Amino acid sequence: MKRTLSLIIAAMLALAACAPAPDMSPETMPAPSGNPGPIPPHIPHSPVPNQFMPTAVAAEPIVIMNNKGGNVMQAISRRDKLAASGRPVEVRGYCRSACTIYITLPNACLGPGATVGFHAPRIPGTQIVPPIVDEMMAQYYRAGILRKWQDEWRHSLSMTKISAAEYKRLDPAVRICRN
């Protein structure tokens, strides 16, 4: 995506360098009132008045759907990449275990019909809760979700499921996706 955007910007700059200099006669100079006046004929424009440049197309969201979680260290690495992407992230369906750390990304929203599942982190196939992993996950939780994690969920090997509405009640800062 960044490479494509860079190529588009480079092409626009190259085309702009080839364009003839604008006619700066009083008829085409912007009016001091803030009204840009007529658009010179060599500047491409949309049919919408006073639109000199098209608006950027919103980036396609990254949709995390029905994610079972998995390795916490890998989830943290993926979270960092999702945050750096700049793209919107939608957490939808059933998000459980390590997936729950994606919900608080600054560029994320939680689907209104989502179910979120919490349990104590454990070594796969065992009931062994490794030290520190619960604390690593806790750094991505806020408000009532963090309190529930600290007091209950991190100690339970069974899955506790909550709705997106319940998540929002426990963490008012979470963003709920449209649709």
* Type of residue at 137: M
Q: CB–CB of 153/101 below 8 Å? A: no
118-166 per-position pLDDT tens digit:
999 998 889 998 989 999 999 999 999 999 999 999 999 999 999 999 9
Distance CA(162)–CA(67), nearest Å, equals 15
- Domain layout of the chain by residue ranges: 1-57, 62-170
pTM assigned to the model = 0.68
- Taking 90 as the threshold, does the pLDDT of residue 31 lie above it? no
Distance CA(154)–CA(145), nearest Å, equals 11
156-172 per-position pLDDT tens digit:
999 999 999 999 999 99
- Taking 80 as the threshold, does the pLDDT of residue 117 lie above it? yes
* Amino acid 179: pLDDT: 84
Q: CB–CB of 46/36 below 8 Å? A: no
Helix intervals (H) in 108-154 = 133-138, 143-151
Tokens of 32: 């001091």
| Homologous superfamily assigned to 62-170 | 2-enoyl-CoA Hydratase; Chain A, domain 1 (3.90.226.10)
Per-residue b or e along 136-159, where b marks 16 or more CB atoms closer than 10 Å to that residue's CB: bbeebbeeebbebbeeebbeeeee
